[in-house]
Amino acid sequence: MDFYYSITNKHFMAAILLLLGLLMPSLEIAGAQSIGVCNGRDGNNLPSPQAVIDLYRTSGIGRMRLYSPDPATLQAFRGSNIELILDVPNPNLQALAADASAATQWVQTNIKNYFPDVRFRYIAVGNEVDPNNGGISQYVQFVLPAMQNIYNAIVAAGLQNQIRVSTASYTGLLGISYPPSDGTFRDNLSYALFTAPGVVVRDPNNNLEYQNLFDALVDAHYAALGRAGGPNLDIVVSESGWPSEGGNAASLDNASTYYRNLINHVRGGTPRRPGRAIETYLFAMFDENLKSGAETERHFGLFSPNRQPKYQLTFN
């Protein structure tokens, strides 16, 4: 089975998908198409699902993360050739954990009814379920049994070689991320934006050198996996973004710099695993005016709701 981890700090968001369990040769971890974009729908002025799919295709974006199984969006996916991470929302976890037949029905309704016209890549069972967060801690006990039931349903459907089952969890569970091999990072803007002119962090445990926060966070998770008995597991970054307004360091210039440099950077791997492209999903496709939380949460879009790009980016 597979697992997600989420990473957040006050400047940017990233979530990391840790590919555990069955390593299937038919599923390419990362390659020429390493970039996807998350498609949040928390807005009342967003384009139609078909218009969104059309924008992905004309923009050269070959992968999407979708946070819930929206039938209209899944229907629009048919024949698009866009690969998909599909989430199981947290409120569904208890029912799926308690009843294997509910998981079978979920897979039938949201996966088999669209496969193979829709290219499902991962199923994320739950999102950032944190035992230390009182608002969602009640879901913790349901994550693993829900994952197991969904996985068993995928196997029963004969799709285990095409689709992986995962979960997304909050970065606070990592504990320590500096130095990366100990898996606190430095509040340094150029370090976060990939613009530091030289080495910012040298890991005293292995002498690896870091010029950006992204690599340090990914390698901190690799180190944590190693200590947990999974030194050879792969990581996919399922969210990474920068807001264009609403808070300190949130600006169009900083966001443009971050996204552009991130796209260029992930092709080369990290100091701990150089030369291995990192499959990465930018957060997010559109500004979402109904998102709760800090003002920055409503300004992560690569595009405005009218489908006009906020930045000049090349995705492939």
Which residues are designated catalytic? 128, 239
Contact 17, 4 (CB under 8 A): yes
- Nearest CA-CA partner of 196 in 186, 204, 206: 186
Question: d(Cα 281, Cα 39) in Å, to the nearest integer?
Answer: 10
- Nearest CA-CA partner of 109 in 131, 86, 128, 139: 86
Contact 272, 26 (CB under 8 A): no
Report CA torsion sign: 38, 251, 51, 289: positive
Task: Please tell me whether the peptide bond between 197 and the residue prior to it is cis, using omega within 30 degrees of 0.
Answer: no
Give the H or E element holding residue 57. Answer: helix 49-59
Question: d(Cα 35, Cα 58) in Å, to the nearest integer?
Answer: 15
Question: d(Cα 226, Cα 181) in Å, to the nearest integer?
Answer: 10
Q: Hunting for tokens 């998102």 — which residue is that?
A: 291
Question: d(Cα 290, Cα 17) in Å, to the nearest integer?
Answer: 26
Q: What residues have CB less than 8 Å from 28, skipping those under 6 apart?
A: none
Helices marked H in the chain: 49-59, 71-77, 93-98, 100-107, 140-156, 189-192, 213-227, 252-265
Task: Please tell me whether the peptide bond between 89 and the residue prior to it is cis, using omega within 30 degrees of 0.
Answer: no
Question: d(Cα 203, Cα 74) in Å, to the nearest integer?
Answer: 44
Phi, psi values for residue 309, rounded to 5°: -70, 140
